[in-house]
């Protein structure tokens, strides 16, 4: 406990006291005493290495107490999250070192200068970085948006309280506001009553931009410019935007029937409306501020007046922004062409603002230019008129089915029955043919009509509003050409990045040959504009083969793709489809980027930011600045000072680890006859389908584990604290290597090879969050007796994995090198344990014939899911 920062402990204690007061006011002194008894029992159970005391205390609860008890412990964990999040923003005293995020970029720039990088080249390289963070709406954000807003307000009050010179009356006022906000949270339902629509998800993403990133981006760029100025003696170009944002919200239709062409069009228009509205606020402020009369001749010629020329230019821009906002709103309800005043491209927004900036600079008013105006220009460069670039994602089978329908209609046979060579010949011929493929009167089936309608939305949307067209489960060059042909048929006249996503182990191994074949096609190369983008799937590859084999396959695929593109003299942009958890490729951004193969991060980096990780990384402006800085420093370092090549001995051992890992993983997940039934009994997998998290169904199709999406697959195991997908396979892989006398090589790999070191660090972190006793509790309450030996076997494998990691690290306990993290986990367990015990009981009750009809049981169960997710900080 002593390892926790005293200020963090003080904040957690304060919020806990306020929650206790709220509970007392609502439920009475006796109920609050009950909560305290449960908390103390949980603490004692941990110390006595058993759950008996806690289970006995919880057994005394009557049905009416279940939901409020679950809510109490869930709310405390949410408040602890707020305190920990604010801790990242807290100012350090002058005597203490600055945090990593604040120093990462300045220190890196100094190191690179010492290594001999020229100042001009370094500044230019930094300004030309192309980092794209893609916000996705995968259903792991458990907290409701209304609660998120209250939590952000609580964090703001903690910041207000964090001043030593507050007057007593000021401190009392802040405490009263905190009490009010905690009470508001307590009296608000944690669980949505309706599943969000894809448009709701997109609006949630826009809210993150409006309330956090809109403020964070200018501050982040100011810090970057300051670091470059101090190190290189120059700033960045005015339009430099090393980091931008894209989105899948409203564009990701892979297995989600709720994302239609109409939805995509609506989300594109909503983004334009939001961008116009946000820039309108900026311009209104600038009109107020820029009242000066000194101006350049160029500005005066545009303004037509010498009294307040800046205001005149900005008033015209304001008029155009108002027209843009009004058109976007009206176009949501009917097909409406934009009028002459509607802003159509980013340059129309940029030019008047840049003209004002240049004029102020020319007139010696640079101190004014560097204020709100420069912030606004930074936002234009980063967000533009379209706020985020929307990606489109669809499964390759949908395109193949649409083309089969078309070729059958044209009397050419069934496209899906053709060989790859036949497909490529047909696709290339039709792509080069100027005539349409289909007659105007063609009536497509519902599925094909939807595919074609999506392509028409893409064709009609401005190029700057769109990112890439991602093909899920891509496996051949024809998958890419098929999308290009469908887009051509829809009327697309410009180039668009069409991106194969390689997801399974076999597809990752085949990624480089597929891209090599693509780049060998002369007509494809002629259409390629910009880099060749390739997406690497982390979630499904890990679900397919386990994280040991998947991680190595991802690494080797990237190496091979780098080699192919270098041989073809084509730039490569790798798009990393990471999740928030270790089982889905999650890792701290800085470590994850620096563990990529050398040459794979060449000034470009694209990655998904998924679910609740968006809020944890970017939900508050200060935290967003920290994380944007870490991303920038890591990408620059990986570009200019990449990690070393893996030694042959490391590669050989990693090949063996991957082979052993995939065999061990699949023997359990695929070959164990009772595994699927055990999984469904031991975890809340079935119940998660009823939790109104995201707009996507939990399954792509009917079937077993293979039909599950990667997120609920991992979410279910996380709830029971077995966390099986993140570690299964490592126990045998590492065990065999250690038995073969490879300890010294493994330790060398961990120390000197960032790829392997990061894998082991993440494995250690997830193993520290597991709890075999809690997993056993779920088995005892939920699993039929014949299946329990499988659970016992899995827990033994977990113990083996923990022992193997400790042997490599040479430590006595997991996270021995991170005592503060261990202490925080220990505190959280006191509040998580009651939720786990209650969840197991609630699951058992809900599975009784009458359980599904008991609303109180169902509500308490869903709140327990949300509380455990909050307590563990990552869900899927």
Q: How far is CA 57 from CA 41, 62, 842, in A?
A: 7, 11, 16
Count of CB atoms situated within 10 Å of the CB of 4: 20
Contact 777, 837 (CB under 8 A): yes
Size (the chain), residues: 876
Give Cα separations from 795 to 45, 483, 792 (angstroms).
Answer: 20, 46, 5
- Please say if 543 is a catalytic residue: yes
Under DSSP, is residue 602 helix (H, G, I), strand (E, B) or coil? Answer: coil
Identify how many contiguous H helices and E strands the chain contains and give both numbers.
39, 8
Distance between CA atoms of 132 and 143, rounded to whole angstroms? 26
Listed residue (874, 303, 219, 811) closest to 588, CA to CA: 874
Beta strands of 22-170 (E only): which ranges? 130-136
The one catalytic residue in 543, 590, 626, 769 is: 543
Q: Distance between CA atoms of 431 and 449, rounded to whole angstroms? A: 20
Paired tokens of 22: 């709220």
- Report the C-alpha gap between 573 and 32 in whole angstroms: 55
Does an H or E element contain 640, and which?
helix 621-640
Report whether 111 contacts 581 (CB < 8 A): no
Three-point CA angle 515, 520, 525, nearest 5° = 90
End-to-end CA, the chain: 28
Compute the distance between CA of residue 430 and CA of residue 521 in angstroms, rounded to an integer. Answer: 14
**Which residues have C-beta within 8 Å of that of residue 446, sequence separation ≥ 6?**
none
511 contacts 557 by C-beta, under 8 angstroms: yes
- With tokens 């038995």, the residue in question is 739
Out of 138, 378, 617, 626, the active site residue is 138
Q: Using DSSP, state whether 535 is helix, strand or coil.
A: strand
- Tokens at 523, concatenated: 């007509």
Active site residue 647: no
Provide DSSP, 447-466.
HHHHHHHHHHHHHHS-GGGE
CB 132 within 8 A of CB 606: yes
Q: How far apart, in whole angstroms, are the C-alpha atoms of residue 267 and residue 391?
A: 11
Catalytic residues: 138, 543
């Amino acid at each position: 406990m002593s390892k926790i920062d005293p200020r963090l402990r003080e904040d957690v204690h304060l919020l806990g006291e306020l929650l206790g007061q709220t509970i007392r006011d609502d439920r009475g002194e006796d109920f609050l005493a009950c909560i305290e008894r449960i908390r103390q029992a949980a603490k004692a159970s941990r110390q006595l290495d058993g759950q008996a005391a806690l289970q006995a205390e919880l057994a005394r609860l009557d049905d009416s107490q279940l939901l409020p008890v679950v809510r109490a412990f869930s709310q405390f964990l949410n408040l602890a999250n707020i305190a920990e999040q604010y801790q990242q923003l807290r100012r350090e005293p002058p005597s203490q070192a600055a945090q990593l995020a604040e120093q990462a970029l300045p220190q890196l720039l100094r190191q690179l200068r010492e290594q001999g990088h020229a100042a001009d080249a370094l500044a230019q390289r930094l300004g030309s970085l192309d980092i794209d963070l893609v916000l996705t709406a995968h259903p792991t954000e458990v907290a409701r948006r209304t609660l998120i807003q209250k939590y952000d307000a609580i964090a703001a009050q903690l910041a207000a309280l964090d001043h030593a010179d507050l007057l007593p009356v000021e401190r009392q006022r802040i405490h009263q506001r905190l009490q009010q906000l905690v009470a508001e949270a307590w009296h608000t339902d944690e669980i949505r009553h309706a599943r969000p629509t894809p448009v709701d998800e997109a609006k949630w993403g826009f809210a993150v931009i409006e309330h956090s990133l809109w403020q964070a981006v200018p501050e982040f760029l100011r810090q970057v410019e300051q670091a470059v100025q101090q190190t290189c003696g120059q700033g960045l170009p005015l339009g430099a935007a090393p980091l931008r944002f894209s989105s899948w919200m409203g564009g990701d239709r892979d297995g989600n029937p709720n994302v239609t062409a109409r939805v995509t069009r609506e989300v594109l228009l909503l983004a334009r409306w939001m961008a116009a509205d946000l820039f309108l606020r900026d311009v209104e402020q600038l009109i107020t501020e820029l009242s000066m009369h000194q101006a350049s001749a160029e500005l005066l010629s545009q303004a037509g007046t010498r009294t307040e020329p800046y205001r005149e230019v900005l008033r015209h821009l304001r008029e155009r922004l108002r027209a843009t906002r009004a058109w976007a709103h009206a176009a949501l309800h009917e097909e409406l062409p934009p009028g002459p005043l509607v802003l159509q491209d980013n340059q129309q927004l940029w030019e008047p603002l840049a003209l004002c900036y240049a004029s102020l600079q020319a007139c010696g008013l640079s101190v004014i230019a560097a204020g709100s105006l420069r912030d606004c220009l930074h936002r234009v460069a980063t967000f533009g008129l379209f706020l985020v670039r929307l990606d489109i994602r669809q499964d390759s089978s949908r395109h193949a089915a649409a083309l089969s329908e078309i070729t059958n209609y044209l009397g050419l046979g069934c496209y899906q029955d053709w060989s790859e060579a036949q497909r490529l010949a047909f696709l290339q011929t039709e792509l080069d043919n100027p005539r349409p493929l289909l007659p105007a009167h063609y009536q497509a089936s519902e599925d094909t009509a939807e595919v074609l309608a999506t392509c028409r939305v893409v064709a009609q949307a401005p190029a700057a509003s769109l990112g890439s067209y991602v093909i899920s489960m891509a496996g051949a060059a024809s998958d890419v050409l098929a999308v290009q042909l469908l887009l051509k048929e829809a009327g697309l006249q410009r180039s668009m990045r069409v991106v194969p996503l390689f997801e399974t182990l076999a597809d990752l191994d085949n990624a480089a040959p597929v891209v090599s074949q693509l780049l060998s096609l002369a007509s494809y190369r002629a259409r390629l504009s910009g880099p060749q983008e390739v997406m690497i799937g982390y979630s499904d590859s890990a679900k397919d083969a386990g994280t040991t084999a998947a991680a190595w396959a991802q690494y080797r695929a990237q190496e091979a793709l780098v080699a192919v593109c270098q041989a073809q003299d084509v730039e490569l942009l790798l798009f990393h489809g990471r999740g928030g958890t270790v089982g889905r490729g999650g890792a701290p951004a800085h470590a994850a980027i620096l563990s990529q193969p050398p040459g794979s991060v060449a000034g470009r980096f694209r990655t998904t930011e998924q679910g609740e990780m968006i809020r944890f990384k970017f939900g508050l402006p200060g935290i967003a600045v920290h994380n944007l800085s870490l991303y920038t420093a890591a990408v620059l370092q990986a570009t200019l000072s990449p990690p070393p090549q893996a030694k042959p001995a490391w590669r050989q051992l990693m090949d063996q680890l991957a082979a052993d890992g995939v065999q061990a993983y699949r023997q359990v997940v695929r070959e164990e006859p009772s595994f699927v039934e055990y999984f469904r009994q031991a975890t809340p997998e079935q119940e998660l389908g009823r939790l109104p998290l995201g707009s996507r169904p939990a399954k792509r199709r009917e079937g077993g584990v293979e039909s599950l999406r990667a997120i609920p697959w991992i979410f279910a195991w996380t709830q029971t604290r077995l966390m099986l997908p993140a570690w299964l396979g490592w126990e045998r892989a590492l065990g065999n290597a250690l038995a073969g006398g490879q300890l010294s090589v493994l330790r060398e790999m961990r120390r000197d090879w960032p790829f392997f070191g990061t894998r082991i660090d993440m494995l250690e972190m997830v193993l520290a969050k597991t709890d075999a006793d809690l997993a056993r509790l779920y088995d005892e309450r939920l699993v039929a007796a014949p299946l329990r030996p499988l659970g016992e076997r899995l827990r033994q494998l977990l113990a083996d994995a923990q022992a193997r990691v400790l042997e490599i690290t040479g430590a006595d306990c997991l996270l021995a090198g991170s005592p503060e993290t261990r202490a925080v986990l220990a505190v959280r367990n006191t509040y998580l344990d009651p939720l786990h015990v209650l969840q197991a009981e609630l699951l058992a009750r809900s599975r009784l014939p009458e359980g599904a009809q008991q609303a109180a049981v169902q509500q308490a169960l869903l709140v327990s899911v949300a509380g455990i997710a909050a307590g563990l900080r990552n869900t899927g």
